[in-house]
């Protein structure tokens, strides 16, 4: 048996889907089940290995569409700068060399050329990208891991430049295939044997066929594309047999505001899979409450009773305990800096709470589009000394340094940071919304689960958060709250989650 996990992209500030896959990899490793993770987005800003290794994936677990048809392996960037200088025969070409923090430039004035090599690791003198600028205009860019694995060619002017085609290479430098980009960004993939794929869908379908799924294999569909260039979900539904197909629901699966007794509006990421239940061996949700609701809805609206299993998307290697007292009245939150996380409410609530708890602080961990707006809000309120944006960090040993965790998100399919926080014994504050807060916050036992109505004003929601902060630090028994958080976390230890996956895989294999 091999388990294939289907995704699209991955980044430094990955979403909960990628973290869920990383946690799942740990469960499969504990069960000694081979697992592969398939990514189909074009990822060239970084060597994909940097991103996957950052989340703990093993290189041999990764399948990337764009190098699948080459013999280049997923591997770290260890191409040496001195090798590049040798390849370019710079010893025989008149040039000036300038080294900066993250790059080295070779200026060849007689050739009207500037070559810019980006360091992957300056100390080790390794590179991962090389740009070629001719008379001020980018003409091509090479990409390196342990060999050069891709190159993109540009056409245009300095102010209006664009990629016209890309080459992907084998280890020996031969061209594995060429990607041609048309004016409308339509892609055509041409292979040396004259085989041509006229769309990314065709290329993806060819990859799936070559994987040659077997009857004892399992495919886990984590993310379906909404991109016009790729319909990976439909392709997986068409091509998965004889393997069994599992669909993971990572978010709230329907829109409550557009649902009535006769019609339901599914989350568009899952609608296709929810209406093709006969192809799905099991749907996976993260909480029992979501499983019960989804089962009820499938029966009510479609008269279907699909297999639905509850498996947490996250797990804990161990429960963590503080080795020293937490900083008094300190709050932590961790998430993407996105508008739906309502981090601005937290900022305003902490500012207000300072009127009653003078030394309360908030550290916000994560990256995202809201960073500039949040920083401005903090600065405008002169709150820099007690509210800080901390960026992206490994928080494994960080949670225990804080007195409590707080979240303002109004919908979490699970909430990995919530799990990590209760696993570190933190008291919790959050709204009574599906599904994560309801799973990890027992009101008055390990924190405060505040009522919530979407129609309430922002001011009312901020007031609820403010009152909960004050109550946490003036009334609550934080020690008792911490004990209860650890108790809630025990079922999510990796050995317990692995057993749930084992049961699911055994059930679908015997269908």
DSSP string of 67-79, one letter each residue: HHTSSPPP----E
Tell me the C-alpha distance between 58 and 220, whole Å.
Answer: 18
Q: Which residues are annotated as a binding site for UDP?
A: 16-19, 392-393
The distance from CA 226 to its chain's CA centroid, rounded to whole angstroms, is: 16
For CA atoms 153, 7, 192, 85, give the dihedral sign.
Answer: positive
Q: Which residue has the tokens 């989650």?
A: 497
Q: Would you say 370 and 337 are in contact if contact means Cβ atoms under 8 Å apart?
A: yes
Token representation of residue 333: 């939150």
Annotated binding site for N-acetyl-D-glucosamine: which residue ranges?
A: 250, 412-415
Instruction: Check if the beta carbon of residue 389 is closer than 8 Å to that of residue 375.
Output: yes
Could you tell me if 436 and 414 are in contact, meaning their C-beta atoms sit under 8 angstroms apart? yes
**Residue 116 CA: distances (Å) to CA of 91, 98, 110:** 16, 9, 16
CA 194/CA 12 separation, integer angstroms: 37
**Which residues fall in the annotated binding site?**
16-19, 250, 392-393, 412-415
C-alpha 236/C-alpha 381 separation (Å) is 50
Residue 465's contacts (CB-CB under 8 Å, 6 or more residues apart) are 345, 346, 349, 406, 408, 429, 450
């Amino acid at each position: 048996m091999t388990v294939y996990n289907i995704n699209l992209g991955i980044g430094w500030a990955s979403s909960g889907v990628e973290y869920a896959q990383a946690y799942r990899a740990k469960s499969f490793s504990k069960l000694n089940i081979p697992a592969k993770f398939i990514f189909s987005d074009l990822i060239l800003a970084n060597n994909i290995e940097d991103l996957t290794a950052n989340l703990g994936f093993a290189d041999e677990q990764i399948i990337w569409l764009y190098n699948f048809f080459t013999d280049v392996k997923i591997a770290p960037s260890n191409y040496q700068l001195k090798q590049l200088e040798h390849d370019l025969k710079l010893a025989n070409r008149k040039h000036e060399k300038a080294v900066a923090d993250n790059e080295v430039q070779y200026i060849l004035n007689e050739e009207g050329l500037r070559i810019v090599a980006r360091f992957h690791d300056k100390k080790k003198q390794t590179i991962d990208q090389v740009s070629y600028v001719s008379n001020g205009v980018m003409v091509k860019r090479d990409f390196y891991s342990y060999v050069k694995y891709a190159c993109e060619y540009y056409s245009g002017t300095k102010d209006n430049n664009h990629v016209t085609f890309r080459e992907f290479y084998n280890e020996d430098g031969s061209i594995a295939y060429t990607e041609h980009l048309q004016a409308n960004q339509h892609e055509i993939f041409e292979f040396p044997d004259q085989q041509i794929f006229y769309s990314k869908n065709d290329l993806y379908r060819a990859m799936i066929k070559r994987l040659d799924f077997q009857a004892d294999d399992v495919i886990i569909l984590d993310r379906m594309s909404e991109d016009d260039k790729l319909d990976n979900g439909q392709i997986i539904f068409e091509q998965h047999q004889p393997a069994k197909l599992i669909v993971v629901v990572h978010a709230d699966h329907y829109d409550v505001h557009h649902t009535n007794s006769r019609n339901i509006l599914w989350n568009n990421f899952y609608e296709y899979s929810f209406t093709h239940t006969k192809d799905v061996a099991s749907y996976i949700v993260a909480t029992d409450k979501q499983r019960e609701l989804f089962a009820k809805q499938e029966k009510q609206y479609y008269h279907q009773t699909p297999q639905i299993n509850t498996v947490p998307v996250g797990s804990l290697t161990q429960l963590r305990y503080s080795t020293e007292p937490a900083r008094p009245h300190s709050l932590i939150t961790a998430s993407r800096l996105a508008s739906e996380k309502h981090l601005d409410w937290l900022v305003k609530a902490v500012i207000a709470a300072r009127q009653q708890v003078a030394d309360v602080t908030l550290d916000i961990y994560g990256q995202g589009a809201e960073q500039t707006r949040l920083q401005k809000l903090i600065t405008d309120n002169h709150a820099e000394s007690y509210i800080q944006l901390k960026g992206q960090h490994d928080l494994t040993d960080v949670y225990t340094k804080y007195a409590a965790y707080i979240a303002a998100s109004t919908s979490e399919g699970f909430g990995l940071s919530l799990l990590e926080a209760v696993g570190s014994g933190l008291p919790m504050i959050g709204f009574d919304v599906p599904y994560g807060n309801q799973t990890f916050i027992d009101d008055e036992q390990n924190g405060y689960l505040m009522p919530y109505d979407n129609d309430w004003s922002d001011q009312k929601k901020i007031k609820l958060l403010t009152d909960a902060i004050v109550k946490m630090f003036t009334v609550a028994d934080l020690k008792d709250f911490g004990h209860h958080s650890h108790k809630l976390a025990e079922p999510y230890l990796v050995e317990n989650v692995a057993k749930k996956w084992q049961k699911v895989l055994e059930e679908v294999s015997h269908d």
